[in-house]
Structure 1
Amino acid sequence: MTTQTTEKTPNTPVTGAATGLIGIPPHLGRALATGGGLLTIASTFLAWTWTAAFPGDLTVYGYPGGLQVLVLIGGALTTLFGLSSYGVKGLRWLTPAGADAALRFAALATFATTWYTVLAISLQLGGLVNLEPGAYIAAIVTLTALLGALALPFERPAPDPIDPDETGWSLAKHRAGHGWQTVKAAFAAGEPGPVRALPSYAEILIIVAVLAVCLTVFTYGIGTEYDELFVGFLITAGFGFAAAHKAGLIRQATQITARHQTITIWGAFVAAALFPFTQTDDQYATIGVYILIFATVALGLNIVVGLAGLLDLGYVAFLGVGAYAAALVSGSPSSPFGVHFPFWAAVLVGAAASLIFGVLIGAPTLRLRGDYLAIVTLGFGEIFRIAVLNMDGTSGPDITNGSNGISAVPDLNILGFDLGARHDVLGVTIGRFANYFFLMLIITAVVVLVFRRSSDSRIGRAWVAIREDETAALAMGINGFRVKLVAFAVGAALAGLAGTVQAHVTYTVTPEQYLFAGTTPPNSAFLLAAVVLGGMGTIGGPLLGAALLFLIPNKLQFLGDYQLLAFGLALVLLMRFRPEGLIPNRRRQLEFHDKAEAPAVLGKTGA
């Protein structure tokens, strides 16, 4: 059955007979969705409950608070996408890939956050009687907006190739190297064409805006003060990201940042450096420094897994080797060596110890492949934990104090700057964890530099060749064993580098910190999940994956025994709908979406 429409561009309202999930005409559904978004914004300025017992104080008229702010954001997105779907010229840039799908996800985000808030108020305060008219209005209008959005057609109509206002595929088809059939097939597959290059200053401003939005979202998420607000944040952020992806904004931002990769990387580090200045105390800087430690180790694992394709299930042991090595030489009273190396020497000791262990473990095991290699590395991780547990002077030599670990590791003092003390910078008091946050940011920058330079080098191309087809790579003259051993050693050294800082941040290094799996990271399972979910073979993927995988379990502790269940369901859904990862490598994206991309490849051949 074919569907006829009169739509000329992705942003022009459909006036034909196409319908969505419900039998409402598309033009009426679009009006309901857009009007519902406007009324949702207005409802957030009303009181939703009469008592301040519910966190966020939703009793104030004229000033949204708590979860109302998230509903306001969702309503604004719904309204903007709705107006863009009507072809409002000043808003067409919001939906380069079409507005209908984006409008559906925006309406769903608003509906889910609103109804979650209403149900939370009713359950926590003891019934619907605790709701004020603003809550009823918000519930009704968000449901109306969702029903209107579901009435929109799911088919993507073909755009008019001669429309001069189109900024998607019709402009892209004029770019060198992209034929007519290529761009047309890519658009039909749901992928907008390459973005028209803007002036450099305009693209840099866009990158700054994107980084500012990312910093704002991360700061808001990490600073949520109560559980209900964080759950609402997850709902809004998740569906909001899906809406931006369907609108084509994520793809446009990706193409722009790819043209200015160096500026993007430096800008990301500047934005991250501003994070401690956005906090009123050291509480959330604590989470920030642990996220950076976790992210740095994940990026090192990305060399092993993402580039070389070696499944390492005991990678957290290298973090432990670096942490123990640094703790033993940093002046801890629990250390049997009785030495206190300066920071730079402790860093070298930790990284060198991990590198040596990586070579010692990799040399006899890297001739294995696939599942056999995974089992051996899993065994190494458990051997390391059991070995340091038994080095207590009773079961083995007195080196690591057994289960008590190396305690009282002193704070770092770098060139007279005590990282354990509070300092005033630009009128802002920077605490202990903020100091370590800046130190870890520098180390993360070093790891990013190593990853980027190595992935673009000859050895990096050899890693990718081994990952794709080891037999073919060996036939082309690549020394597979040597290449894999280099990847193993480099990844281990980067993990040990992060471990040297972890030892000083946590004060105590114990065997229980380096398990294969547990409820909280870092452990080998979470590290591997961060690489796979974030995007294998990329720089930003493991960093984003590690941040999410550390932050979400930390914030979901109120779920108790159901925490891992909720977390597992979230992973299943992410793998179902975005198997290539949040920030995918282009090659892996093609592998997971080969059917959608095949017409574009064929079209290019025939162009």
Structure 2
Amino acid sequence: MSTMTTISENPKAAAATEPATATGLIGFLPVGIARALALGGGVLTVASTFLAWTWTPRFPGDLTFYGSPGGLQLQVLVLGLLTTLFALSSYGVKGTRWLTPAGPDAALKLAALASFATAWFTVGAISVDLGGPVNLEPGGAVVALATLLALLGALALPFERPKLLPVDPEDTGWDQFKHRSANNWATFKAAFATGPVRRLPAMHSSVEILIITAVLAVALGVFTYGIGTEYDELFLGFLITAGFGFAAVNKSGLMQQATQLTKKHQNLSIAGAFTAAALFPFTQTDDQYATLGVYILIFATVALGLNIVVGLAGLLDLGYVAFLGVGAYAAALVSGAPSSPFGVHLPFWAAILVGAGASLVFGVLIGAPTLRLRGDYLAIVTLGFGEIFRIAVMNTDGTSGPDVTNGSNGIASIPNLSIFGFDFGAEHTIAGFTIGRFANYFFLMLLIMAVVVLVFRRSGDSRIGRAWVAIREDETAALAMGINGFRVKLIAFALGASLAGLAGTVQAHVTYTVTPEQYLFAGPIPPNSAFLLAAVVLGGMGTMSGPLVGASLLFLIPNKLQFMGEYQLLAFGVALILLMRFRPEGMIANRRNQLEFHEKDETPATLAKAGA
């Protein structure tokens, strides 16, 4: 376990710290008792999910059955099993050590915390919805006690507590407060620190492929479960379960090992991911959740295009959603919509070229005069372009300007796509499964995303991609090495714009109508420029899968939190702040960003290797 150092704001306390005695967060509970509590609490948590938690089916999910977990009980069951397995690994039980290649204790603490949070949230929700704890059955009390015992046992496990430096009495009250906060944060991080991840043993390629398949199957199952949550309490519990569960699995080292395997078989992993995504519509009985799926794909495709501009080239673009709008409007005007003044009905392959081409032209026209700016100045200009686009399409209504876009009413009644006689607006039966309208567009967007992923991979690994990274890291040094900075940035801007326009052509046909209000800088529902940028940063800048994960979360969560009304954005903002505080490099970050954001955490290990 690596030794943590205290980050002090006091210059007089800048010396390195020495590790103190190994203790737990809740005191000097013997290690044996702590592990027994964690294991016993995990087993009891699993058993409690087979008991009734309430007496009435009025609580969503009907938790009144014995021997048949349902609703939130299933989430607690999964977390209880995870806690039990990590506890067995902490004991060193043969056959469970592979679960924690980075050490069991940190993962066990997070798994126990996840079980506790989800179980107590469920118990609290039952009490609030039904009118008090009196509505709990014995199973509800058992799960509350079991998860509490498991959490106490896990937090009592020892760790290398850093020796905290004393507060300088000459400091002001605010400096002393910051110093104590830094000491407390160092202690907290040390409690959840993990050791180095053990190297994977040599395995046959077929075994590695099976592991990748299992990982993709789990990912598909989690996504399908999350998008198909039927009531509000279930989705909130899913957020708690997925958040803490992902943190626990990540701390165990399993995520790092899965990443190693996917990098080793990158092409196979990408093909498997698209295959898993293509199976999603077959898991749905109607178009209710396939609708969310196709919108998520549109949002994710645009975010991946923005990742070229922001993640690879380092250009802060705050008006990127305008390129999505340009592609949508261009395709709508030539797709045979009755409200289009052109009266043109081009086939889809021509409409998609018009949409992507229009966005490409606008990207060049906007980028040519502005990309000589840097940083905040470039951000302000791109923000202005986004607003100019929205105002322009509102004014080209035949009254304030030429009659092109029908003003605030937009282009309505856009017909469904038909490619080679395949009508995307009609239901089709494939292998006994009925595929509806949105499922058809889901498959189409999956093909377009495959094109975008291919472009991103090829451009990122090419000479121009390395030039983008050089510009992002240090533009002055890149120019000194002979890179034509303006041309390189213009290519990134134009390529990103054309990819957004590509997605916009499908969005116009999916939504039937394009209006200026769909392309704001910020709003409660994506896609908009603020959410697109947040998806890139949250998912992991410069990576291929990061923005896809970030976009999926940022589209799904606001849609599922609409029941919170005016508090929706507040809760969403708090969640983003916490995520960025604990994982600033993003959900899926490259090694460079991890080293930059955790430079102080990596320093002791690096120095130790150098000393050895």
2:295 to 286, 290, 295: 290
Is 1:50 aligned with 2:58? no
Within 5 Å, which residues of 2 pair with 1:75-90?
Answer: 75-90=80-95
1:149 matched to which residue of 2?
154
Question: Which digits, 9 at most, give the CA deviation of each residue in 1:420-450, with x for residues without a partner?
Answer: 0000001000000000000000000000000
- Deviation of residue 586 (structure 1)? 1.2
Equivalent in 341, 349, 353 of residue 354 of structure 2: 349
TM-score of the pair, normalised by structure 1: 0.91
Out of 51, 61, 66, which is 1:61 matched to?
A: 66
- Which one-letter code corresponds to 1:363 in the other structure? A
8 Å Cα contact 2:49-2:76 kept in structure 1: yes
- With over 3 angstroms needed to count, the CA separation of the structure-2 counterparts of 1:602 and 1:29, relative to structure 1, is closer
- The answer as to 2:283 corresponding to 1:243 is no
Q: Which amino acid aligns with 1:60?
A: F
Match of 2:568 in 1: 563
Identity %: 79
Q: How does 1:166-565 map to 2 (within 5 A)?
A: 190-565=195-570
TM superposition shift of 1:605: 5.4
Q: Would you say the 8 A contact 2:23–2:156 is kept in 1?
A: no
Contact residue 48 and residue 132 of structure 1 kept, 8 A: yes
Q: Residues 509-533 of structure 1, C-alpha deviation per residue, up to 9 Å, x if partnerless?
A: 0000000000010000000000000
Q: CA deviation at 1:154?
A: 2.7
Aligned residue type for 1:242 = A
Q: 1:606: Cα distance to partner?
A: 6.1
Quote the residue 2:6 is aligned against: none
Deviation of 1:463 (Å):
0.1
Give per-residue Cα distances to partners, 1:186-223, cap 9 Å, x unaligned. x9974425434422111111110100000000000000
Partner amino acid, structure 1, of 2:288:
Q
From 119, 122, 126, give the equivalent of 1:117. 122
Aligned 8 A contact 1:334 1:408 in 2: yes
How much has 1:340 moved relative to structure 2?
0.3
Judge which range, 582-591 or 596-605, deviates more. Answer: 596-605
> Which amino acid is 2:365 matched to?
L
Q: Secondary structure at the match of 1:155?
A: strand
Distance 1:423 1:20 in 2: 58
Which whole-Å CA distance do the structure 1 matches of 2:157 and 2:210 have between them?
34
- 1:90 is paired with a residue whose SS is coil
Partner of 1:95: 100
Q: For 1:125-144, list aligned pairs within 5 A.
A: 125-144=130-149
1:585 aligns with 2:594: no
Answering whether residue 602 of structure 2 is matched by residue 597 of structure 1, we say yes
Please say if residues 306 and 532 of structure 2, whose CA atoms lie closer than 8 Å, have aligned partners that are also in contact. Answer: yes
How far apart in 2 are the matches of 1:17 and 1:277?
52
Aligned length: 565
Q: Is the 8 A contact 1:112 1:235 kept in 2?
A: yes
For 1:188 and 1:238, the matched residues in 2 are separated by 18
Residues 67-103 of structure 1 show CA distances to partners (whole Å, capped at 9, x for unaligned) of 1111111111110100110001100000011111111
Contact 1:18 1:26 in 2 (8 A): no
Match of 2:33 among 15, 25, 28: 28
Please report how far the alpha carbon of residue 260 of structure 1 lies from its aligned counterpart in structure 2 after TM superposition. Answer: 0.8
Counterpart CA distance in 2 for 1:69 and 1:564 is: 28
Task: Deviation per CA, 1:251-303: give whole Å up to 9, x if none.
Answer: 11111111111111110000000000001111000000000000000000000
Amino acid in structure 2 at the alignment position of 1:145:
A
CA contact (8 A) 1:116 1:232 kept: yes
Dislocated runs of 4+, deviation >6 Å: none
Letter in 2 for 1:560: G
CA distance in 2, matches of 1:31, 1:53: 37
Query: Is the CA contact (8 Å cut-off) linking 1:308 and 1:484 kept in structure 2?
Result: yes
Q: Does 1:573 align with 2:578?
A: yes
Could you tell me how far 1:594 is from its partner in structure 2? 1.4
Q: Alpha-carbon deviation of 1:20?
A: 3.3
Give the Å deviation of 1:602. Answer: 4.6
Deviation of 1:599 (Å): 4.3
* Structure-2 separation of matches of 1:283 and 1:213: 22
Q: 1:188 to 1:327 in 2, by over 3 A?
A: closer
Task: Find the counterpart in structure 2 of residue 183 from structure 1.
Answer: none
Distance in structure 2 (CA, Å) of the matches to 1:433 and 1:370: 40
Residue of structure 2 equivalent to 1:8:
none
User: 1:595 Cα shift?
Assistant: 2.0
Q: Distance in 2 between matches of 1:449 and 1:232?
A: 36
Structure 1 Cα separation of the partners of residues 610 and 24 of structure 2: 35
Name which of structure 1's ranges 595-604 and 88-97 shifts more when overlaid on structure 2: 595-604
Structure 2 distance, partners of 1:206, 1:486, is 39
SS of the residue corresponding to residue 424 of structure 1 reads strand
2:434 alignment partner, SS class: strand
Shift of 1:21: 2.6
Amino acid corresponding to residue 420 of structure 1 in structure 2: G
Q: What is the CA–CA distance in structure 2 between the aligned matches of 1:260 and 1:228, rounded to whole Å?
A: 39
Q: TM-score when scaled to structure 2?
A: 0.90
* Structure 1 residues 456 and 62, CA gap change in structure 2 (3 angstroms): same
Q: Is the 8 A contact 1:21 1:151 kept in 2?
A: yes
Partner of 2:8: none
Change (3 A) 1:189 1:247: closer
**Partner AA of 1:415 in structure 2:** F
Q: CA deviation at 1:19?
A: 3.1
Contact 1:46/1:60 (<8 A) preserved = yes
Deviation at 1:156, TM superposition (A): 9.6
CA distance in 2, matches of 1:301, 1:197: 38
Letter aligned with residue 136 of structure 1: A
CA distance in 1, matches of 2:105, 2:500: 45
* Distance in 2 separating the partners of 1:571 and 1:245: 19
Distance 1:97 1:76 in 2: 19
